[in-house]
């Protein structure tokens, strides 16, 4: 059954409802009519079209006023929306997509079957591909389009996210000794019928309550969160979380308290991270899609911009020029991913940032190996090695500006070897350990007595002359 079969009944009985449905796209009108007819129990006292019209009137009256009043906006094509944006001066694309998503959730319509949304996306893609931002000198009609630049930015952001996630894993597991957890958190079934904004606010509130309780107990949490959509466009979380072993049980209990619907599927909701590269790629797979977002736990909000700026050698208000120079060199060589986050001062907890300071904060540095790793950070940053395990005496370290090609991937696990082999003047066949008191010069060859006799003879000849 189509909407045109019941339109006269609605216009005659309820002209106000007919006026509300008038700006709605005919595709949505037909979907509403068809689904109402499928769920309608027909009576003998009414005609089929008349009874469906009555059911549609009752259904429209149950819709939120903000959704009904926006029927005109969500029904506009991409060209019509661009004209509206020129008149109002407001960017309405995100709002129109959000309204169509809420209407699909009410109708139970899958996104791939929404012809209005699909046509809008296709027109938007065509417009961005035809809009030339950087023209070609030889061919003015061709060049870099808006779509090309957006894809370039997405690829750059994707690479930055993976690099930060790699460094975060290095810091959490190797330096701090934390356990890695992969969380999949969803909402109960009753939130699948509310608006997208309500569902997103609810799942964000629950996860924030877990983080707030951990912060009140001074429990450090690190990781990455990805907000994605189910097939019915209900938001859910995929979280790559790192927590200390002594606090893991408490954190898991707080997660299950905030998401009680996950208790029955606890083994699927909370898993150990066994392969970090695959986990990071899985979390970032939907980056750039509408209504999806990715954020980091325990890092500063501007960590992506800070990472990109330092990679290009640009100045940053919170970083010295010396830090920027050393970090950009590490980024170019793709080495020491965990050290990069320390030198960027990219953590929310200032006690972690002060580990890379000249006078480090040892709140999270308790084990001897952690002190060795701190010495590695200081060797790269200050060009000097300080043995934090025994004394506070500093010794000059000539760390070369360029990492040897034989060691393209430097991590915390090979700190002593890396410290020794990256000193200037060290032979490639050096010992697999760090010689703190050596100046990286081979001992003199030959007989010491012969050398001394030669020196005395030369002195006597000068005195005779």
- Per-residue pLDDT tens for 312-341? 888 888 888 888 988 988 888 877 788 999
Q: What is the mean pLDDT of residues 432-448?
A: 47
Q: Are residues 239 and 357 in the same domain?
A: no
Q: Are residues 402 and 269 in the same domain?
A: no
Lowest mean pLDDT among 11-25, 229-243, 333-347, 417-431: 417-431
Residues 214 and 290: their CA atoms lie apart, in Å, by 31
Q: Are residues 277 and 326 in the same domain?
A: no
Q: Are residues 214 and 320 in the same domain?
A: no
What is the DSSP-derived secondary structure letter of residue 174? I
- Sign (positive or negative) of CA dihedral 25, 29, 34, 36: positive
Residues 52 and 399: their CA atoms lie apart, in Å, by 80
Q: Are residues 249 and 313 in the same domain?
A: no
**Is residue 86 domain-resident?**
yes
Ramachandran area for residue 288 (φ above 0: left; ψ -120 to 50: alpha; else beta):
left
Domain membership of residue 213 as a residue range: 154-297
Map tokens 């008349």 to a residue: 50
> Do residues 363 and 353 touch, judged by C-beta distance below 8 A?
no
**Model pLDDT, residue 103:** 93
Per-residue pLDDT band for 413 (boundaries 50, 70, 90) equals very low
Distances (CA, A) of 380 to 117, 256, 362: 52, 42, 18
Q: Of the candidates 79, 90, 78, which has an alpha carbon nearest to the alpha carbon of residue 121?
A: 78
**Is residue 149 domain-resident?**
no
**Model pLDDT, residue 439:** 43
Residues 146 and 137: their CA atoms lie apart, in Å, by 17
Q: Are residues 176 and 270 in the same domain?
A: yes
pLDDT score of 374 more than 70 = yes
- Pull the structure tokens for residue 249: 């049980």
**Is residue 453 domain-resident?**
no
**Model pLDDT, residue 431:** 46
Terminal CA-to-CA distance of the chain, rounded, Å? 122
Report how far Cα 199 is from the mean position of its chain's Cα atoms.
21
Residue of higher predicted confidence among 111 and 438: 111
**Model pLDDT, residue 407:** 39
Q: Are residues 178 and 83 in the same domain?
A: no
**Is residue 168 domain-resident?**
yes
Q: Are residues 292 and 353 in the same domain?
A: no
> Could you say which of 281, 297, 313 is where a domain stops?
297
Could you report the per-residue pLDDT of 186-225, keeping only the tens digit for each? 999 888 888 899 999 999 999 999 999 999 999 999 999 9
Could you report the per-residue pLDDT of 345-369, keeping only the tens digit for each? 999 999 999 999 988 999 999 888 8
The CATH number assigned to the domain holding 187 equals 3.30.70
> Do residues 379 and 385 touch, judged by C-beta distance below 8 A?
yes
**Is residue 464 domain-resident?**
no
**Model pLDDT, residue 399:** 45
Q: Are residues 170 and 279 in the same domain?
A: yes
Residues 274 and 13: their CA atoms lie apart, in Å, by 64
**Is residue 224 domain-resident?**
yes
**Is residue 402 domain-resident?**
yes
User: Facing residues of 134 across strands?
Assistant: 144
Q: Are residues 225 and 322 in the same domain?
A: no
98 CB-near residues (< 8 Å, 6+ apart): 196, 197, 291
Q: Of the candidates 96, 108, 39, 87, which has an alpha carbon nearest to the alpha carbon of residue 67?
A: 96
Burial class from Cβ neighbours inside 10 Å (0-12, 13-18, 19+) for residue 313 reads middle
Q: Of the candidates 177, 164, 161, 162, which has an alpha carbon nearest to the alpha carbon of residue 413?
A: 177
Q: What is the mean pLDDT of residues 228-250?
A: 93
Mean pLDDT of the chain: 83
pLDDT score of 231 more than 80 = yes
**Model pLDDT, residue 409:** 43
> Do residues 191 and 264 touch, judged by C-beta distance below 8 A?
no
Residue of higher predicted confidence among 162 and 392: 162
Residues 211 and 222: their CA atoms lie apart, in Å, by 10
Q: Are residues 108 and 210 in the same domain?
A: no
> Could you say which of 402, 421, 440 is where a domain stops?
421
> Listing from the earlier edge strand, what are the strands of the sheet with 179-185?
270-272, 179-185, 235-243, 222-229, 293-297
- Sign (positive or negative) of CA dihedral 272, 299, 161, 333: negative
**Model pLDDT, residue 449:** 54
Residues 382 and 360: their CA atoms lie apart, in Å, by 12
**Three-state SS at 142:** coil
- Pull the structure tokens for residue 66: 């903000």
Q: What is the mean pLDDT of residues 401-421?
A: 45
> Could you say which of 238, 262, 297 is where a domain stops?
297
Q: Are residues 218 and 329 in the same domain?
A: no
**Model pLDDT, residue 456:** 62
Map tokens 């001074």 to a residue: 218
**Three-state SS at 85:** helix
pLDDT score of 430 more than 50 = no
- As for how many domains the chain has, the answer is 3
**Model pLDDT, residue 446:** 52
**Is residue 428 domain-resident?**
no
């Amino acid at each position: 059954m189509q909407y045109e079969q019941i339109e006269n009944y609605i216009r005659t009985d309820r002209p106000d409802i007919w006026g509300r449905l008038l700006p709605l796209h005919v595709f949505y009108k037909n979907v509403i009519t068809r689904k109402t007819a499928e769920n309608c129990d027909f009576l003998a006292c009414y005609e089929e079209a008349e009874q469906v019209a009555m059911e549609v009137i009752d259904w429209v009256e149950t819709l939120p006023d903000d959704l009904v009043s926006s029927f005109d906006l969500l029904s506009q094509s991409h060209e019509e929306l661009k004209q509206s944006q020129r008149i109002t001066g407001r960017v309405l694309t995100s709002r129109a997509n959000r309204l169509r998503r809420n209407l699909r959730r009410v109708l139970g319509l899958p996104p791939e079957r929404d012809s209005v949304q699909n046509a809008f996306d296709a027109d938007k893609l065509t417009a961005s591909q035809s809009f030339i931002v950087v023209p070609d000198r030889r061919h003015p009609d061709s060049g870099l389009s808006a779509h090309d630049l957006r894809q370039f930015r997405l690829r750059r952001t994707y690479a930055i996210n993976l690099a930060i996630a790699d460094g975060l894993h290095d810091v959490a597991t190797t330096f701090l000794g934390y356990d890695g957890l992969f969380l999949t958190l969803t909402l109960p079934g009753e939130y699948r019928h509310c608006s997208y904004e309500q569902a997103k606010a609810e799942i964000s509130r629950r996860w924030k309550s877990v983080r707030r309780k951990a912060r009140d107990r001074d429990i450090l949490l690190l990781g990455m969160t990805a907000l994605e959509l189910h097939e019915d466009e209900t938001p859910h979380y995929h979280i790559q979380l790192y927590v200390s072993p002594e606090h893991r049980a408490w954190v898991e209990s707080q997660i299950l308290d905030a998401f009680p619907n996950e208790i029955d599927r606890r083994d699927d909701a909370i898993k150990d991270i066994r392969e970090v590269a695959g986990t990071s790629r899985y979390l970032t797979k939907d980056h750039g899609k509408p209504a999806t977002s990715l954020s980091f736990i325990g890092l500063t909000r501007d960590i992506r911009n800070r990472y990109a700026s330092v990679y290009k050698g640009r100045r940053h208000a919170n970083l010295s020029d010396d830090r920027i120079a050393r970090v950009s060199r590490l980024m170019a060589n793709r080495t020491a991913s965990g050290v990069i986050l320390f030198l960027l001062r990219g953590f929310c907890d200032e006690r972690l940032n002060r580990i890379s300071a000249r006078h480090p904060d040892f709140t999270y540095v308790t084990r001897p190996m952690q002190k060795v790793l701190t010495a590695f950070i200081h060797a790269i940053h200050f060009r000097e090695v300080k043995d934090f395990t025994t004394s506070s005496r500093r010794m000059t370290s000539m760390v070369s500006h360029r990492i040897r090609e034989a060691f393209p991937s430097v991590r915390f696990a090979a700190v002593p070897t890396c410290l020794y082999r990256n000193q200037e003047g060290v032979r490639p066949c050096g010992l697999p350990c760090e010689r703190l008191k050596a100046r990286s010069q081979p001992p003199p060859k030959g007989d010491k007595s012969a050398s001394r006799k030669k020196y005395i003879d030369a002195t006597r000849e000068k005195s005779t002359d």
